[in-house]
Structure formats: structure tokens, C-alpha cells
Chains A and B, each alone.
Chain A
Amino acid sequence: MIFAWSILGAMGAAFLAWPLSQVLPRLSGWILSLAPLSIFFLLLGEIGSVSDGAAHVKSFAWVPSLNIELAFRLDGFSLLFALLISGIGTLVTIYAGSYFNGKSTADKGRFLSLILAFMAAMLGTVLSDNLIVMFVFWELTSLISFLLIGFDGEKSEARASALQSLIVTAGGGLVLFAGIVLIGITLDTFSVSEVLERAGELVASQLAGVIAACVIVGAFTKSAQFPFHFWLPNAMAAPTPASAYLHSATMVKLGVFLLARFDQVFATLPGFGETLVVAGSITMLVSGLKAIRAESFKAILAQSTVASLGILVMLIGLDSEVAAVATVGFILAHALYKAALFFCAGTAIHATGEARLANLRGLGRALPFTAIATILASLSMAGLPPFVGFISKEYLFEAQLDSSWAIFPVVVAVIVNAVMVGVAGVVSIRPYYWPTKTPTVVEHGETPGMLVGPMALAGFGILIGLFPAIVAGTVIAPAASALRGEQIEVSFGLWHGLTPMLALSVIVVVIGSVIAIWWEAIHRRLAQYDRFFSLLGDRFYRSAIDSTLALAASSTKLLQNGDQRRYTAVVVLTVTAALAAAFVSMPDFAFLAAEGDIRFAVVAVLALMVLGAIATALVRSLIAGLVASGLVGFGTAVLFMMHGAPDLALTQIAVETLLVVLLTAVLLRLPARRRHSRTGGERNRDAVLALGFALMIFVALASVGVSPIDLRLSEYFANASYVEAYGRNVVNVILVDFRAIDTLGEIAVVAFATVAAWGLLRGPAKLIRTKD
């Protein structure tokens, strides 16, 4: 099973990208594209092994005690995704190599490295057979997406968009993780293959609804479905090659991938399909509207991508058999034309430095091949014959008409597809061939590296449209069969005869043409309703984030205001309240274990300590206060000594002494006597707090002695100390041997906290020095 190693191959290429871009800056894109290309051909070789609907699983042990193994699964559906990932990955690598030629080699190396690392993560997600492993790769794609959207980190807009996408997708990922854990609890397995086999068991369980909801939230956030649709258009802050790859062709389809996989499991769960159809339809309508309203070239494409994802989600929710074929067909068609369109948009923006569609004019002469590729890809998006987009749209309508749903999804699909036709017309004709007297100035023309991608994808679109048999039996049928869990025959032909679907297609093209012709007018009309559009955007996300930050600010102001007395008061109050609550809730509460004789020596030491404590509170001189509180500390050490704990006594003495030495250094710089800095009222309040705290601690300590102590552990350590760890000092043996890992953790915390405090102490010292 060589397919599992493709992930490792992509990972290796990611590590090579940086050094290679330093050594061979102009060629690195071409050379690195060999990695995804060979993965692509390697996967092509696997087509034969899954064509009969079979699934191959290969696993390596990872964490056997938790049921987690590095298991990978190849079936028709994951193969389709893997082919898209590696195929488009090849073209993106080449394209990015040229796109970044004007930039620094450091930027180029960083970008190529991220793109290849992303490819590894994507391959991992679609090929995983273990849900935990899949989740790890899933979140990895979110993280790399974050890094790519924020690639131009010096722009605040890019940083905000990157953070937004991370919060939405990684947050949804956590919900998905909850769903995965619940699946593990219910079925006692994380294996995708086994979950698919035992679907009935999962649906019958009590948790089925919760699990389905978790999976849906995870998928909706990743695939930008309503109400999480707002992050994807903002993600266009990423460099265009990343937008083409992550935010149209591959990553955003992961949610669709997940839903399609789990549709097989949850299809019989009431409400699952309906949720998908409704959410998909809302997403389609919202993003269709926003596409016409959008200004920049990439934003229009991004909105149409969200609409396409909505179509896919709706298709998965439909219950007809042909829906599986329609889903698979549309995934393929959309990946081909949308990636091509993003490439072309990137070339146009790169060549002119102008992102707004309205300002791009007359580029057909300067960028002739890009213009042709745009036209070809747009025709596929518009769903015109003989392009693959036409076939997939026919299947979309057939799936809707075949389903148990009434006319509602069909109407939505007609509207949204008409918008797609409009978008296709506008993005292909307007920037390139619209008659104009002042064509936009082109700084540099097309380069071979920036043409390979769009030309290849647009070419594939028409090739598959003309000869659908190339993919029908090899890719589409196995993928659709994998989704249905049974072998299905697929014709995937261009001509279906005079069907209702064809009639719908004609309607779509007519409305779409109207939209394309009057685009400018509709656009201006919609611009008057910007208040309405702001409701469809990320307004709710922003207010949620803002109020969270405001809450953090106000709670910090309340609890961490920089006044040590406030801190002490909060801690004391919390402990007192918690102890009081514990005592009240305890049914038969008894304290004061009055056993044994009263020993004079102990009483004497205690009396001294009490005196010390009272003196500390009363004296005005800081040095006297230090000495008085020292009485309490050393008294404690003596008490330890009297009760047979020399270890504790030694430590107490050492700490106490050190404290005196440390505080002396601080006190040397303070006035020897101080005035009260608190008002009388404040002091009374603090006194009440202190007394209440003391009372609670006294009651707690006194009641500790009442309940019998479980001595099993102490006895075990006492007995095993010398036999197993060769030490007679039980305390130390526990510290360095039995519980050494705890000690290691503690000293690590001490070390890091110290380094942090040390760094903080250095700051002001430097400032003072520069002032002098």
C-alpha cells in the first residue's frame, strides 16, 4: 500500500522548499512540483484497485492503549480527493513559483513550504482511516490556512482575517472532536471503516443526535456554511495561489468530504438530510446575493465558491441515489473551473496591481492566454455544453427532481445557478474584452509558470465534457459507489435527451444572461441595501469577539488591578467562601478532635507564634514586622520538629531564613517607618476579612484530624522505600524516585516562572538606566 507514503513525500518536499528556493530561486517552483506530480501519478496507478468499490486499509501502531493507530484508507471517494489535491497541488506549486518571482526568495521559500505542508495535511485528512488521526490532520489544515491567510503579516487586515478563519475553523474542529470522542465512546472504535460498517448501531444509540450535530458543526465551519459563511470571503487576504488551492479547490471541501462520508452513517437519522438541504439552500441564497454585491475580483469568486459549497451540502442532504453521482461530479467540475478562475484572477491582479473588478479593463490584448483560460473556465462554471460543468449541473437538477423534496431546492438551485452564469459572464468578458478606451496598464505580461495551471485546468474541463467516459468509470463511479456503500452504474454523459433537467438549464442560462448584461445596474441597486448586507456578514462574529474582549478587560480591571491588597482580598474571600460552603453542605460536621494530653512545650511555642502574628499586624516599623512574622515562621519549624518531621522543619527554616534575607534587601530601599496607606474603614474591613479567613482555616484544620487518615500509601512508601529505591529518607525517595515525574514538572514550573519574573525585573531596570 504505497498510497500512505504519499503524505510523507509531501511533508519531505515541504522541508526542501525553503533551502531549494534559496539556492535556485527561479526554478524552485518547477522542481518542487515534481513531488505532487509523482504523487498524482502514483495515485493514478491505484485507480484499478478501487474501481470495484473496494476499500484498502493500511495501519501502523501508534497509541494502541487508546485505540489510536495510524490507519489509512483508500477507496473511490478518498482517491478522488487525493487526485484533486495532488493534481491541483502540482499546478499551484508551479503557479506560485512564478507568482513569487518578484518577491524575496525568503517569501517564496516560506510560501512553497507552507503549500506543500498543507498538501501533506490534506492528503492525511482524506486518507485517514482513524478518526483521531484524521482530526489531527484536519486541524493541521486549519493552522496552515491561518498561516497562509496571514502570509502578509504586516497588513492588519490579513492578520484579522487569519485570526477569524482560525477561530471559526479550529473552533468548529473542537466541536468535531467532541463528536469523534462520542463516537469512540459509543462504538469503542475510531476506525472509519468500522464506523461505516456499524452505522446502524451508531444511529440507534442515544447519542446519535448529539454526534450528528457535532459533525455538522465541524463540517459547516470548515466549508463555510451558513451561519459560518463569513470567514471564507475574508480569507481572500491570502496570496492568490493559496486562495486557489485552499479556499476553493481543496480545504473548504473538507467539510463536504466529512458530511459525504457520514451521510452514509446518518442518512436514516431523522433531520440529518433536512438540516443539510436547508442550510445548504440558505448558504446558496446568501452568497449568491453577496456575489452580485461584491467589489473585488477575488471576492466575487469567493462568494460563488461559498454558493458552490452550499450546493454540495444540499446535494449530500438529498436522498436520491443519483445525488451521490451529482455530488462527486460537482466536486470534480467545481475544483477544475474554480481553481482555474482563481489562477486567472491572480494573473490579472498580479499584472496590474488592481484588485477591483470594476477597474480592470481591456486586458485581452496584454494577457491573451489568461483571457482564453478564463473564458473556458467560465463556460464550465456557467454550466454550458460541452463542458464538464454542464454535465454536473444536469445531475444536480436530476438529483433534486428525483428526491422526496418538493420544488423548493429546485427554485433555489435555479436562482443560484443563474447567478453563477452571471458571475461567469462578468468575470470572463468584463476585464478582458469589454470595449474600453483606457485599458488598465499592465506592468508585466504572462509567464509560462502562470499559464500552465489555468490552461491545464480549463483544458481538462472541456476534455472531460467532450469525453466523459475518461472519468465516468475510473473516478466518478468508484467515488459515488464508495459514498453509497454499494456499486452503482454511472453514465455521466453529455447528452441526456430532452429532459426536464435540460429545460431547467435553459431557464438558468436565460436568467443568468440577464444578470450578466445588467450586472452594473443590479450591483448599484443592491449597494443601497448595505445595512441588510451587514447582517449577512461577520457582524455577529465581531460583536461576539468584542464582547468577549470587553468581558476580559473588565474582569482584569476588577481582579488584577495591580493593587496587592486587592489580590490578597480576592484570594482570602474566595477561600473563606469555599470553605464555608463546604462546611454548610456537610451533613454531620464535627471538629476539634480533643485527644491526647496538652503538652506545655507546644503550648509555649504556639503562644509565641500568636504573639508574633499579633505584633506583625500592629507594629509600624517594617523591620520589626519582619522579625515578628519570622516568629511565626520559625515557630512552625519548631512545631514540625516536635512532631517528628525533621525534613519539614529543615525546609521551613531554610525558606524562612531566605525570606528574611530577600526581604531585607527590599526593605533597605523603603522608609523604615511607614504611615498607614489605608483609611480607617478599609483597615476595619480588612481586619474582618482576615479574622473570617483565620476562623475558617482554624475550623478546617481542626476538622482534618477528625476523619481517619488512609494510611495505605504511607505504609507502601515506608516499606518500599529502602527495598526498591535504596533510600531510608521516605520523603526524599518519593521526591526523586517514586514521584520523580511530579518533581520534574514542579521544577520545570519553578524554572519557567523564574525566567519570566527575571525578564520582567530586567525591563524597568533598563528604563531607569537610560533615564540617567
Chain B
Amino acid sequence: MSLIFTTMTRIFFILLLVASIFMLFRGHNNPGGGFIGGLFAALAFALLALSDSVDTARRALMVHPITLLGLGLLLALLSGLPGLFSDSSFLRHWWTSIGALHVGTATIFDVGVFLVVIGGVLSLVFRFYQEEPA
């Protein structure tokens, strides 16, 4: 890979990660959300894998993508339980306000979506890249 691409990727990696978190949390009131955020984050790691190596990207991710996938699904599932117990309605979200900011189980659900997208995309991306004939 070219030097320019590799260097630029390092910068983009950080930028994309920051953007993904930003997208995830602004999603409730402005364009964004767990799905787009997840895509951004996956893009960051995919770029890293392409410019450097899959192993670098895996190390940067720290957990296995399939683990992320399962974790996200679990989070989304669990975020529905409080509503099930309080209103006997699964996925009826709880809300509370910290000042002007509304925080609730919907946020946990969105984080779940975020993780599923990252895990899903990256598990396949890493596999694709790794199969390169040596």
C-alpha cells in the first residue's frame, strides 16, 4: 500500500470513530443513529485492515466481531425487558431526564443496533481480506 494511503488512513480511522460515536448519540434528534454510526465505525476498521493488515485491525478492535454481534443483539433484547416488567409490554422504553437531556432504554437499544452492524460487517470484511493468497 502506498505511504499516503497508510498515513491518511490513520487520521481517517480516528475521525471516523469519533464521527461514528457522534452519529450514534445525536441520532435521536438529528440525522444519525445506531445503524449509520455502526457503518461509520465498521468503515474505520475496514480501512485499517485494508491499509495495514487484518491483524492490526483485529488488535485495534480488541474483541472478536462475532462477540460484538452477539453482545449487540443481547443489549437490544435486554433493553426491552424493563418495559416488559413495568408495563407488560416488551420494548416499551423507560425514560428519565438529566437536565434537558432525555436518557432511556431506547439509547441502549440503539447501541445494540450499533454493535450488531459493526460486528456483522467486520466479521465478513476480515474474512474477505484474510483470504488473500499469500
* Chain A contacts to B: CB under 8 angstroms: 646-647, 650-651, 654-655, 657-658, 661-662, 664-666, 668-669, 725-729, 731-733, 735-737, 740-741, 743-744, 747-748, 750-751, 754-755, 757-758, 761-762, 765, 768
What is the CB-to-nearest-CB distance from A393 to chain B, in angstroms, rounded to a whole number?
A: 58
Residue pair B31, A737 in contact (C-beta under 8 Å):
no
What is the CB-to-nearest-CB distance from A719 to chain B, in angstroms, rounded to a whole number?
A: 16
- Give the one of A726, A729, A736, A750 with max B CB within 10 A: A736
User: Which residues of the partner chain B approach A731 to less than 8 Å between Cβ atoms?
Assistant: 31, 33
What is the CB-to-nearest-CB distance from A409 to chain B, in angstroms, rounded to a whole number?
A: 57
User: Which residues of the partner chain A approach B14 to less than 8 Å between Cβ atoms?
Assistant: none
Closest to A648 in B: B31
> A717 to B43, alpha carbons, bound, how many Å?
31
* Chain B contacts to A: CB under 8 angstroms: 23, 27-36, 39-40, 42-43, 46-47, 50, 66, 69-70, 72-73, 76-77, 80, 90-91, 93, 95, 102, 104, 106, 109-110, 112-113, 116-117, 119-121, 123-125, 127-133
Residue pair B93, A725 in contact (C-beta under 8 Å):
yes
> A751 to B29, alpha carbons, bound, how many Å?
27
> A592 to B80, alpha carbons, bound, how many Å?
45
Residue pair B90, A758 in contact (C-beta under 8 Å):
no
Residue pair A728, B120 in contact (C-beta under 8 Å):
no
Mostly, the A contact residues are: helix
Residue pair B36, A651 in contact (C-beta under 8 Å):
yes
When A729-B28, A743-B113, A750-B120 are in contact, do A735 and B35 touch as well, CB less than 8 Å? yes
Closest to A669 in B: B132
Residue pair A665, B50 in contact (C-beta under 8 Å):
yes
Residue pair B47, A758 in contact (C-beta under 8 Å):
no
User: Which residues of the partner chain A approach B73 to less than 8 Å between Cβ atoms?
Assistant: 747-748, 751
When A661-B50, A727-B28, A729-B28 are in contact, do A654 and B39 touch as well, CB less than 8 Å? yes
Closest to A645 in B: B31
Residue pair B125, A662 in contact (C-beta under 8 Å):
yes
What is the CB-to-nearest-CB distance from B32 to chain A, in angstroms, rounded to a whole number?
A: 7
Closest to B20 in A: A654
- Please provide the 3 A-B residue pairs with the shortest distance between their CB atoms, ordered closest to farther: A654-B39, A726-B102, A728-B29
Q: Which residue of A658, A728, A740, A748 contacts B106 across the interface (Cβ within 8 Å)?
A: A740
> A740 to B84, alpha carbons, bound, how many Å?
13
When A732-B33, A754-B120 are in contact, do A737 and B106 touch as well, CB less than 8 Å? yes
Residue pair B124, A761 in contact (C-beta under 8 Å):
yes
Residue pair A751, B69 in contact (C-beta under 8 Å):
yes
When A665-B50, A729-B27, A751-B69 are in contact, do A736 and B33 touch as well, CB less than 8 Å? yes
What is the CB-to-nearest-CB distance from B46 to chain A, in angstroms, rounded to a whole number?
A: 5
A-B contacts, 16 of them at CB < 8 A, read A647-B36, A654-B39, A654-B40, A655-B39, A658-B46, A661-B46, A669-B132, A732-B33, A737-B93, A737-B109, A740-B93, A743-B113, A750-B120, A751-B119, A761-B131, A768-B131
Residue pair A747, B132 in contact (C-beta under 8 Å):
no
> A757 to B128, alpha carbons, bound, how many Å?
11
What is the CB-to-nearest-CB distance from A21 to chain B, in angstroms, rounded to a whole number?
A: 34
User: Which residues of the partner chain A approach B66 to less than 8 Å between Cβ atoms?
Assistant: 755, 758
Residue pair A658, B42 in contact (C-beta under 8 Å):
yes
Residue pair A741, B90 in contact (C-beta under 8 Å):
yes
What is the CB-to-nearest-CB distance from B100 to chain A, in angstroms, rounded to a whole number?
A: 11
What is the CB-to-nearest-CB distance from B50 to chain A, in angstroms, rounded to a whole number?
A: 6
> A750 to B69, alpha carbons, bound, how many Å?
9
What is the CB-to-nearest-CB distance from B103 to chain A, in angstroms, rounded to a whole number?
A: 9
When A651-B39, A736-B106, A755-B66 are in contact, do A727 and B29 touch as well, CB less than 8 Å? yes
Residue pair A650, B113 in contact (C-beta under 8 Å):
no
> A650 to B66, alpha carbons, bound, how many Å?
26
Residue pair B124, A754 in contact (C-beta under 8 Å):
yes
